[in-house]
Structure 1
Amino acid sequence: MTIALLSHIDLDAGYPDRFAAAGYSLHFATTPEQRANLDPQIARSIRAILTIGTIGVSAAEIAALPALEIICAQGVGFENIDLAAAKQRGIQVTHGPGTNSSSVVDHTLALMLAVTRRIPQFDASVRAGEWKKTRWNVDGMSGKRLGIIGLGNIGALIARRAAGGFDMEVGYHNRRPQENSPYPYFPNVTELAGWADYLVVATPGGANTTRLVNAEVLKALGENGYLINISRGSVVDSDALIASLQRHEIAGAALDVVDGEPKVPAEMLALDNLVLTPHVAGRSPESVENMMVLVQSNLDAHFSGQPVVTPVPE
């Protein structure tokens, strides 16, 4: 049976061969042009889609695939999958919670350290022959306050490592308090930002969190505060963040995600108090393997008439 692959996977790791051995045929549609110009004969044969939350599947794309039965988001996010359209057609939707958590948490701590200790600037200075010129005193992370927006699986792991490894005090904001959480709950993001030295965005993307971190939140974070985003670019108001960094109204920011990526605003590229990585927090050999194993488990379960392993939450 045919699977439409809407996002890239590591071809060198043998995943196409794995799917072929399991009886699946992959059709690659990894660019907007390929998705918009899908051959009608192929479209009629597609029974499954592999995608990611930032690409998703629109209602129009679902309507163009009459045989579609299941949509698998490879990572935890599924914000751009039209769940209503899928439900109307009786199409199963799954995602990949927990598959890349460890990698994302590693990257989060790396970003926090990089922007705090000015690692990119020091590296560039050494390469430019300015060893003595730039031996500045820089901040440390230990003992500081960490505010986490979204204390889910990834947020909780970030909290554990920050508290256990850096003696950081942790607070959080969710839509509602978590029962039995050892960390103080803040009823809104602005209050959390006003308390925190570091504000880490770990909440899901989507309409409910669009520009959740705005000018007011950044003002509350203050001139000694750092913003870290490993969630979705849409959660942070890019214009407000650029203005805040230009005016040094916050100490710095580190982003693995940017609204509108892969296009990055030119104003961001000029900022020396901003660290950027190209949405790679969740990428590691282990996490990609975990995602592919879970995707195949969901496909195998569905096509054998069994309940899928990780359906998206209702």
Structure 2
Amino acid sequence: MTRPLLLVGQPLLAPLLPLLRADHDVIVLWEAHTPGDLAKVDALVWAGEFPLGRNLIDAMPRLRLIACFTVGYDGVDVALARERGIAVAHAGNANADDVADHAIGLILAHRRWIVAGDRQLRAGQWTIESKTRTRSMGGARLGIVGMGAIGVAVAERARAMKMRIGWWGPRAKPNLSCPRADSLEALARGSDILVIAARADAHNRGMIDARILDALGPDGLLVNVARGQLVDEVALVAALRDGRLGGAALDVFDPEPTDPSRWADIANVVLTPHVGGATHEAVGRMAQVLMANLAAHFAGEELPSPVPADG
């Protein structure tokens, strides 16, 4: 019996190859292959944040499934895939709790001066007179942009810390207990901390612009655990340098990897290299979902974790 042929898109997915090869024939995009090889591909395994070009899709006439290993799929033209009769799957909510944990960690690290305090101590600058006052988590006004699985998980954690929670997204969600702001700008204006947890798409690039940053203000903290392209980074850097924004705690950037020189002289930031969802447990769940999506597709069954209908 002929086994399905998979194309694996990025070298970072190489650890999956032994798992995938147990039930499929596999070729990889970063090694030598021919147009004839691509013409035989049945499914594509892809890291969803990377742009998937039309030319590659055109080279695979048999392609019927794009299986994103990742939760995000913003690099995939879902409309084009559906037009071609190609199903698109992703990892669902596999890392939502871990990303939410990381968001809270970034807030704590910045608001409670954990990173800067560590640097001060290591530099031998800790004196009795130099003790810095920080701000409590309890009572802080937290605005969440995007109330999907990650946003909800952030809200659950923030509620336990006695924070006051509001949110904004393009669509109302009546089942949520926390109030939805009238606009993104209104949410920023009424928040001490603004957490970006929205899904990135072609319509919301740069939605956190100078106007939103000014609304958040000189005492406000911007936290981004979603996608770097949701924030106008040029405007963000300018607002931080000018003191129009109090601080930023970022796990994602535009582009990635970010140029470290961009942040070298900005003191009021905490930065991590896109690791919010990269726990052993979350990656294990993502692999399980990927294999389940592939198995269901080739069995002619409903995908366990398809991209949402509005995706």
| Pairwise TM-score range, normalised by the shorter structure | over 0.9
Any idea what SS the aligned residue of 1:65 has?
coil
Q: Who is 1:24 aligned against?
A: 24
Deviation of the 1:265 alpha carbon: 6.3
How far 1:140 moved relative to its partner?
2.5
Letter in 2 for 1:163: R
Tell me if 1:92 matches 2:58.
no
After superposition, the C-alpha distances for 1:45-91 in whole angstroms (9 at most, x for unaligned) are 32211122210422111001222221011222211212232122211
Distance 2:175 2:36 in 1: 54
Alpha-carbon distance, 1:292 to partner: 0.6
Say which is worse superposed, 121-130 or 85-94, in terms of deviation: 121-130
Q: Distance in 1 between matches of 2:73 and 2:274?
A: 16
1:1-314 paired onto structure 2 within 5 Å: 1-7=4-10, 8-9=12-13, 11=15, 15-21=16-22, 23-29=23-29, 34=30, 38-132=33-127, 134-164=130-160, 166-264=161-259, 266-314=261-309
How far, CA to CA, are the matches of 2:137 and 2:26 in structure 1? Answer: 46
The SS at the match of 2:124 is coil
CA distance in 1, matches of 2:100, 2:242: 29
Structure 1 residue 10: Cα displacement: 7.0
Tell me the distance in 1 between the aligned counterparts of 2:119 and 2:40.
52
* Residue aligned with 2:166, SS: strand
Structure 1 portions without partners, runs of 5+: none
1:212 partner letter: M
Q: Deviations 1:123-154 (Å, cap 9, x if unpaired)?
A: 22222222327532222322100000001111
Output the amino acid matched with 2:138. S
> Any idea what SS the aligned residue of 2:263 has?
helix
Q: CA deviation at 1:208?
A: 1.7
Amino acid at match of 1:106: D
Contact between 2:13 and 2:47, CA under 8 Å: does it hold in 1? no
Q: Structure 1 residues 134 and 303, CA, compared in 2 at 3 Å: closer, same or farther?
A: farther
Q: CA deviation at 1:179?
A: 0.8
CA contact (8 A) 1:117 1:140 kept: yes
TM-score, length-scaled by structure 1: 0.91
* SS of equivalent to 1:26: strand
Paired residues of 1:86 and 1:92 also in contact (CA < 8 A): yes
Q: How many residues align?
A: 304
Aligned partners of 2:190, 2:266: CA distance in 1, in Å?
Answer: 25
Q: Confirm or deny: 8 A CA contact 1:200 1:229 kept in the other structure.
A: yes
One-letter code of the match for 1:149?
A: V
Unaligned runs of 5+ in 2: none
Following the alignment from structure 2 to structure 1, what is the Cα–Cα distance between the partners of residues 258 and 157?
Answer: 32
> How far apart are the structure 2 equivalents of 1:211 and 1:311?
27
Q: What CA distance in whole angstroms lies between the structure 2 residues aligned with 1:141 and 1:155? A: 17
Provide the rounded CA distance (Å) in 1 between the counterparts of 2:13 and 2:119.
Answer: 32
Is the alpha carbon distance of 1:276 and 1:38 closer, same or farther for their aligned partners in structure 2, counting shifts above 3 Å?
A: farther
Shift of 1:250: 1.6
**C-alpha displacement of 1:210:** 0.8
Question: Which is worse superposed, 38-47 or 245-254?
Answer: 38-47
Equivalent-residue separation in structure 1 for 2:33 and 2:224 (angstroms)? 34
Give the distance between the partners of 1:269 and 1:3, measured in 2 at CA. Answer: 42
1: CA distance, partners of 2:272 / 2:204: 22
Q: What SS does the aligned partner of 1:207 have?
A: coil
* Contact 1:62 1:85 (C-alpha < 8 Å) held by counterparts: no
